[in-house]
Amino acid sequence: MNKNLNDIIPPSRRRILEESGALPPQAPVSMPTPAPAPMAMHDDHAPSPSSYTRSMSPRGGRSFPYGTLIAALVVIGLSVGALFAFSGAKVNITPAMNTVTVAGDFISTLSTGDLPFEVITVEKVATANVDSEGTETVNQAAQGAITIMNKQPNSQQLIKNTRFQTPDGLVFRIRDSVTIPASKNGTPGAIKTNVYADAAGEQYNVGATTFTVPGLKGNASFDLVTAVSDEPMKGGFAGPRPNIGQATREATTAKLKESLAPDIEKELADKVQEGYVLLNGASRVTYTDEPDSAAAGGKVTIGAKAVATAVVFPEAALARAIAYQTIGSYSGQDVELGDQKGLTLTPTGDLPSAGTAEFPFSLAGNSVIVWTVDTAKIAGAVSGKGRDAAQSILAGFPEVEMAQLVLRPFWSSTFPQDPAKINVSVSSSETSKK
């Protein structure tokens, strides 16, 4: 290729000569336009140029996977957050249980002492109307239940045939001696019993009313020992009325008593308060015939009454009494009765009435004593302790059969200093269910 003068003059010298007019300006060099590339056939599987642009860096390498990095950081953050969100200290206690065989005598006292008892009573009446089988002349006294109340600080005994008088002067009597408990903490002692009219006649079929005790008149006890009835007296009659034969009466009352049995048992069980137990043998049901009365259409109303009486004990007190007799290492800790169905109570005499102060009885059978766990005490014992130290401490608790310790996150090795931050739960067992 031939060179001219312009080709050998340096650019800086050339610029000076052009500005002074000694050298004409150099014409711009035009670059040849390249021929258009032949059109390529379309390939559905070939990547588009834009895809290369996205995947290649300006220098031709692959771009950094920022999306993957962000997703990984989010997962890690959530995992760490979950570890702290579900962190904490937990202790799951399996309480100690002792299967015991009971065969011993006990003495319970009314409402007080180490083994108190309470008496509950339930009444239920069933009636039926049957066709009369004749007539009879009747002289029948009215009867009903009253509650005798004693406001004195000492108990009051009333002998058989003690009179009770209504405000209208009608007299009723008790047929058995009773003792009314003393007043306690401002609450009058009370006992429920039946009274019978002093004479026959419908005038004694009075509604609910109040009674005084005439035999106490002139004594300070007169105003402190009174009675009240919640239901009408009934059965009083004098004169002719329809009647039925003995065979019909017996058959009818037998059916009535049979119908009363499940109802009275259910009502008795429903009346047992929370925290009390009713043992096998600690209840009785008595049935009595209600006085006949005339019904419409020449029929006769036959009635039967069921009265259920039961002695109940606070469960915790009974469990302690049994534990003292059957567990040699027991020293008064809180326990519960895990199973009472295998125990049978036998009264030394008869079941107590509402005014009885003491109740001796024997117990026989098998039961389960479940030791009560104080969760606050457990939390306080392990607070601030390491896992091994906490296990050693809980091993010295007689009420703890087994302790499962949980510390989260997994790298934690010490329980919190604050017991409130320690969750203590007590597991149950099928053998401890009543």
CATH code of 193's domain: 2.40.30
Tell me the three-class secondary structure of 103-137, residue by residue: EEEEEEEECCCCCEEEEEEEEEEEEEEEECCEEEE
For 330-334, the CB contacts below 8 A with 24+ separation are: 333/371, 333/372, 333/398, 333/399, 334/371, 334/372, 334/374, 334/399
The residue segments making up the domain with residue 214 are 134-243
Residue 410 lies in a domain: no
Residue 20's pLDDT band (boundaries 50, 70, 90)? low
> pLDDT tens digits, residue range 178-211?
999 889 888 898 888 999 999 999 999 999 999 9
Asked whether the predicted pLDDT for residue 50 surpasses 70, the reply is: no
pTM metric for this prediction: 0.66
Residue 217: is it exposed, middle or buried by C-beta count within 10 angstroms (0-12/13-18/19+)? exposed
Between these two residues, 101 and 339, which has the higher pLDDT value? 101
Mean pLDDT calculated for residue range 306-329: 94
Largest CA distance in the chain: 169
Q: What is the pLDDT of residue 59?
A: 52
Residue 215 lies in a domain: yes
Return the percentage of the chain with pLDDT > 70, whole number: 80
Q: What is the pLDDT of residue 323?
A: 96
Residue 347 lies in a domain: no
Q: What is the pLDDT of residue 224?
A: 96
Q: What is the pLDDT of residue 206?
A: 96
Residue 357 lies in a domain: no
Q: Is residue 324 classed as helix, strand or coil in its secondary structure?
A: helix
45-59, 66-80, 283-297, 311-325, range with greatest mean pLDDT: 311-325
How many Å separate Cα 359 from the centre of its chain? Answer: 29
Tell me the three-class secondary structure of 344-412, residue by residue: EEEECCCCCCCCCCEEEEEEEEEEEEEECCCHHHHHHHHCCCEHHHHHHHHHCCCCEEEEEEEEECCCC
Residue 283 lies in a domain: no
Q: What is the pLDDT of residue 354?
A: 65
Q: What is the pLDDT of residue 314?
A: 96
Instruction: Report how far residue 19's alpha carbon sits from residue 330's, in angstroms, rounded to the nearest whole number.
Output: 121
Q: What is the pLDDT of residue 54?
A: 46
Q: What is the pLDDT of residue 425?
A: 93
Is residue 303 within 8 Å of residue 126, measured between CB atoms? yes
Q: Is residue 330 classed as helix, strand or coil in its secondary structure?
A: coil
> pLDDT tens digits, residue range 66-88?
677 777 776 666 555 544 444 47
Q: What is the pLDDT of residue 423?
A: 94
Mean pLDDT calculated for residue range 267-295: 92
Record the tokens describing residue 278, joined without a space.
Answer: 């009713």
Asked whether the predicted pLDDT for residue 60 surpasses 60, the reply is: no
Record the tokens describing residue 321, joined without a space.
Answer: 């009494």
Record the tokens describing residue 91, joined without a space.
Answer: 């202790």
Residue 165 lies in a domain: yes
Instruction: Report how far residue 434's alpha carbon sits from residue 432's, in angstroms, rounded to the nearest whole number.
Output: 7
**What are 179's strand-pairing partners?**
157
Q: What is the pLDDT of residue 86?
A: 45
Record the tokens describing residue 45, joined without a space.
Answer: 């599987």
Record the tokens describing residue 184, joined without a space.
Answer: 């306690």
Q: What is the pLDDT of residue 339?
A: 80
Instruction: Report how far residue 322's alpha carbon sits from residue 417's, in angstroms, rounded to the nearest whole number.
Output: 38
Instruction: Report how far residue 172's alpha carbon sits from residue 166's, in angstroms, rounded to the nearest whole number.
Output: 8
Between these two residues, 106 and 44, which has the higher pLDDT value? 106
Total domain count for the chain?
Answer: 1
Instruction: Report how far residue 421's alpha carbon sits from residue 414's, in angstroms, rounded to the nearest whole number.
Output: 12
Residue 195 lies in a domain: yes
Record the tokens describing residue 326, joined without a space.
Answer: 């059957």
Residue 116 lies in a domain: no
Record the tokens describing residue 68, joined without a space.
Answer: 């993957």
